[in-house]
Amino acid sequence: MAELALFFSAFLAATILPFSSEATFLLAITNDMPTLNALLSASSGNILAIIFNYYLGYFLYEKTKIKLLSSSFGAKAYSWGHKYGYWALLFSWLPLVGDPLTLVAGLVRLKFVWFVIIAGSLRILRYYFLTLMV
């Protein structure tokens, strides 16, 4: 049950909602959740959410673009995505600008496979490095 809660926490955190899963992840580990279970739950939730963001940007191009550009972080993410493409995804793990970058990847039509490899790997690495802190 705790793994499912961590999964949903990580999923919500990777959407545009202002929410952080790192605290939930660290809490789960410090409360004796096996590290591998926590890593798998959080990573899979986070990766599923960035895939959702990608397709949201891909299929709702016009509406999403208008909403995204209304925030300063969203506008910055859009300009980075257009200017730097896959290189911009190296910042997709960062708070505030990272999640809009995953949406921008769909807007600018980056190749899905490379998007998942780059952004997904960084999401896993972020949680892995958090395990080293505990």
Let me know: does 47 contact 116? Beta carbons within 8 Å.
yes
Distance, in Å, from the CA atom of 96 to the CA atom of 21, rounded to the nearest integer, reads: 13
pLDDT in tens, 80-94: 777 888 998 998 888
pLDDT in tens, 7-22: 999 999 888 677 788 8
Write down the pTM of the prediction.
Answer: 0.85
Exposure letters 97-123 (e unless 16+ CB within 10 A, then b): bbbbbbbbbbbbebeeeebbebbbebb
pLDDT digits (tens, 9 = 90+) for 46-83: 999 999 999 988 887 766 666 666 777 667 767 777 78
pLDDT at 37 over 80: yes
